[in-house]
């Protein structure tokens, strides 16, 4: 029997003005930059120096002059920052903040899969452990996955891991038959399903649909568009950062959002005049929500939890992560 890890978040601290003042002062003292993913709690997003999607935050981490990065997100994101900046101190406010998608493939799984497809190019989503990245040719995020696969010569087999829904999106967009997809998923996005989306779209006929490609409903959305239930130009498959960019330019007055609900905060900030509604308002990632005001305060007061990546694994993973940040559009973050 495996021991169950206690995932009770650190609590007991109010995100009030004195908290905010102490966070800013401690960050300055530590020469730290605070990065927050779009799924973080609103108070964490608001105190951060930068918020954004996985790609934008990786790029910001790589370019930052700060000697310490405090990554308010999940563990693979902090590991990616450490791979890109091994000389930096990288802190995550709660090291238990994992990711069900990253857990769906191990380094050993990937090595075995590669052995079945000799010569294939391996593309791994950034939502993977450092060990998986070390076995990978090019990493990608939801924002540049299509561009990454397009950058590979058409006659070369591609192994795409670990998200099956993002993989299906990439296969549709590139029309590539020689793309093999690992059957992993994120429990939060897989739970946003097609029937739920169809019901919400029918009740909100004028709304745009912003859909993250990790969602179980992404295929259904395109099917609804294909059969004319939803106008095709209303269906947008977007990374979290691209949702913010799209919110600033859409003419729609109402938008249905299919992703983790932390996203609504950035969207409402970007376009307060639009009504944003979650397709599934229970789609909350418990790992992202472990970065509480108490956890962030502890992190900055005590220098916890420091993220280490084995230098040999980091060296093998660095090329794949660097290729990821070089390919494709900017990613959404500010």
Q: Write out the residues near ligand SF4 by the rule CB under 6 A.
A: 74, 99-101, 127, 186, 188-189, 260, 285, 287-288
**Smallest gap from residue 163 Cβ to ligand SF4 (A):** 8
Cα gap 205→231, rounded to integer Å: 9
- Residue 142 touches which of ligand SF4, ligand 13P, none (Cβ within 5-8 Å per kind): ligand 13P
- Residue 287 touches which of ligand SF4, ligand 13P, none (Cβ within 5-8 Å per kind): ligand SF4
Own/partner contacts of 111-120, CB < 8 Å, gap of 24 or more, are 111/135, 113/159, 113/161, 113/182, 114/159, 117/157, 117/159, 117/180, 119/156, 119/157, 120/156, 120/157, 120/158, 120/159, 120/180
- Residue 239 touches which of ligand SF4, ligand 13P, none (Cβ within 5-8 Å per kind): ligand 13P
CB under 8 Å to 170, separation ≥6 — which residues? 145, 146, 149, 160, 176, 179
- Of 125, 99, 259, the closest CA to residue 191 belongs to 259
**Smallest gap from residue 330 Cβ to ligand 13P (A):** 13
SS3 of the chain: helix, strand, coil, percent, to 5: 45, 15, 40
**Smallest gap from residue 190 Cβ to ligand SF4 (A):** 9
Residue 91 or 120: which CB sits closer to ligand SF4?
91
Q: Is 139 annotated as a binding residue?
A: no
Hey, CA dihedral for 191, 194, 200, 201, is it positive or negative?
A: positive
Q: Number of helices (H) and strands (E) in the chain: give both, helices first.
A: 15, 12
Cα gap 201→259, rounded to integer Å: 15
**Smallest gap from residue 159 Cβ to ligand 13P (A):** 20
- Residue 43 touches which of ligand 13P, ligand SF4, none (Cβ within 5-8 Å per kind): none
Q: Is 212 annotated as a binding residue?
A: yes
CB under 8 Å to 189, separation ≥6 — which residues? 165, 212, 214, 215, 216, 259, 260, 283
- Of 67, 84, 85, 80, the closest CA to residue 303 belongs to 67
- Site residues for ligand 13P, 211-250, by CB under 6 A, read 214, 239-240
* The total number of residues written for the chain in this structure: 334
Q: Is 186 annotated as a binding residue?
A: yes
**Smallest gap from residue 118 Cβ to ligand SF4 (A):** 30
Binding footprint of ligand 13P, residue count (CB under 6 A): 12
CB under 8 Å to 293, separation ≥6 — which residues? 13, 14, 15, 19, 41, 43, 44
Q: Is 285 annotated as a binding residue?
A: yes
Does 143 bind ligand 13P (CB under 6 A)? Our answer is yes
**Smallest gap from residue 155 Cβ to ligand 13P (A):** 29
Interaction pattern, residues 170-189, with ligand 13P; x per rule: CB under 6 A = ----------------x---
Q: Is 142 annotated as a binding residue?
A: yes
Q: Is 37 annotated as a binding residue?
A: yes
Q: Is 214 annotated as a binding residue?
A: yes
Binding positions for iminosuccinate are 37, 54, 125-127, 142, 212-214, 240
Please state the residue numbers annotated as binding site for [4Fe-4S] cluster.
99, 186, 285
Which chain residues interact with ligand 13P by CB under 6 A?
A: 38, 53-55, 127, 141-143, 186, 214, 239-240
């Amino acid at each position: 029997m495996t021991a169950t890890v206690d995932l009770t978040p650190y609590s007991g601290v109010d995100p009030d003005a004195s908290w905010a003042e102490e966070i800013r002062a401690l960050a300055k003292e530590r020469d730290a930059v605070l990065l927050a993913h779009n799924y973080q709690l609103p108070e964490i997003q608001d105190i951060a120096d930068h918020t954004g999607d996985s790609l934008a935050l990786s790029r910001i981490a790589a370019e930052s002059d700060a000697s310490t990065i405090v990554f308010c997100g999940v563990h693979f994101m902090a590991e990616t920052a450490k791979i890109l900046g091994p000389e930096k101190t990288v802190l995550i406010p709660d090291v238990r903040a994992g990711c069900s998608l990253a857990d769906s493939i191990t380094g050993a799984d990937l090595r075995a899969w590669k052995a079945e497809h000799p010569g294939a190019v391996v593309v791994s989503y950034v939502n993977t452990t450092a060990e998986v990245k070390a076995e990978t040719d090019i990493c990608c995020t939801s924002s540049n996955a299509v561009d990454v696969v397009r950058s590979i010569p058409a006659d070369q087999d591609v192994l795409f891991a670990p998200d099956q829904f993002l993989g299906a999106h990439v296969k549709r967009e590139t029309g590539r038959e020689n793309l093999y997809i690992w059957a992993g998923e994120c429990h939060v996005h897989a739970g946003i399903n097609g029937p739920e989306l169809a019901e919400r779209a029918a009740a909100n006929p004028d709304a745009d649909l912003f859909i993250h490609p990790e969602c179980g409903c992404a295929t259904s959305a395109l099917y609804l568009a294909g059969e004319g239930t939803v106008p095709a130009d209303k269906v947008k498959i977007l990374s979290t950062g691209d949702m913010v960019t799209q919110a600033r330019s859409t003419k729609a007055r109402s938008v249905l959002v299919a992703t983790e609900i932390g996203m609504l905060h950035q969207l409402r900030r970007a376009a307060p005049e639009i009504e944003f509604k979650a397709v599934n308002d229970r789609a909350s990632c418990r790992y992202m929500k472990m970065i509480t005001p108490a956890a962030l305060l502890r992190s900055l007061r005590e220098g916890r939890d420091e993220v280490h990546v084995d230098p040999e694994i980091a060296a093998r993973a660095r090329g794949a992560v660097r290729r990821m940040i070089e390919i494709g559009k900017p990613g959404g973050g500010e």
